[in-house]
Amino acid sequence: MKCLFQQFILSAYLVITLSGFLYTLFRIHTPLVPWIFTRWSYMLMAPYQGYATYNEDIIAEGQRADGTWEMIDLSQYFPYILGETNVRLHMRSFRYLDDPDLFREKFTLTAKRLLMLEQRGKPYTALRLSYIRWPIPMRGGYAFNRHEPFLEKEVITEVSLHDL
């Protein structure tokens, strides 16, 4: 009887873990497992919830009067520890909503604020926020492939002084 009970507990744990894994990777909830158990297992899968085959970051660039773009150091505007900076800068609470317009609107608002703040020291005529992506290296660390030809760039939003 003890062996049968142990087998049942082990099997239930494996089914619940598989359910959490399916929900984490594919957003599939199996009706076989009650949601409370799937959610519990899903929370244990935190390292896999943001899994991707690439690294990404958000960069800000200011346009000078001559039309060239210059990188802006965002660390002065996000003086937090790395994890909190990542959450705030990437606006993850808006990213996965089913409203891409709201997501872009929040980034546009941030770009306008950054352009106003940058006017104190560098008179940029425009500011843009972009995603940059690069493949995760097999070795060499996080930023190993963060350069051309591996770098992909996608402009999220661009604002000018006329938008303020």
Q: Is the pTM of this model over 0.95?
A: no
Q: What is the pLDDT along the chain (164 residues), one digit of tens a residue?
A: 899 999 999 999 999 999 988 888 888 888 899 989 988 888 887 666 667 788 889 999 999 999 999 999 998 888 888 777 777 887 866 766 667 788 889 999 999 999 999 998 888 999 999 999 999 888 888 889 999 999 999 999 999 998 87
Domain boundary among 33, 49, 65: 49
Query: What is the distance in angstroms between the CA of the first residue and the CA of the last residue of the chain?
Result: 74
Domains in the chain: how many in total?
2
- Residue 33 structure tokens: 């497992």
Neighbours of 160 (CB within 10 A): 15
118 and 41: one domain? no
92 and 157: one domain? yes
